[in-house]
Amino acid sequence: MTQPTINTKLIDSLVKNILSLSEPEIELFITKLNTAISTKTNQPEQYQALKQEIEQGLNQLRNGQYRTYTPDTLPNLLADIKQRGQKRLG
């Protein structure tokens, strides 16, 4: 298996640009970089979790495990969701 080509000119240019940033800009850059790396690293896990949740929902639909809401009952659902959200926020 061959190794990918490393663009050293790009790396040198990035280092030069990063070193020209102010301290707050460097801190912001590091935060954004860490977030991007974390998101990229967790994508397979997030995808797998989402896939499982979708499959669970489909199974619930197939088994009739759902509720039908009407214009009369929908306000109660919305109020319940709002109440649970407020409770969760503390």
pTM, two decimal places = 0.42
Q: Cα(57)–Cα(66) distance, rounded to whole angstroms?
A: 9
Q: Widest CA span of the chain, in angstroms?
A: 65
- pLDDT tens for each residue of 20-78: 988 888 888 888 988 888 877 777 777 788 889 988 988 888 888 888 888 999 999 99
Would you place residue 86 in the very low, low, confident or very high pLDDT band (cuts 50, 70, 90)?
Answer: very high
Q: Cα(11)–Cα(80) distance, rounded to whole angstroms?
A: 52
- How far is residue 23 CA from its own chain's centroid? 28
- pLDDT tens for each residue of 46-56: 778 888 998 89
Q: Cα(90)–Cα(82) distance, rounded to whole angstroms?
A: 13
The ranges assigned to domains in the chain are 10-89
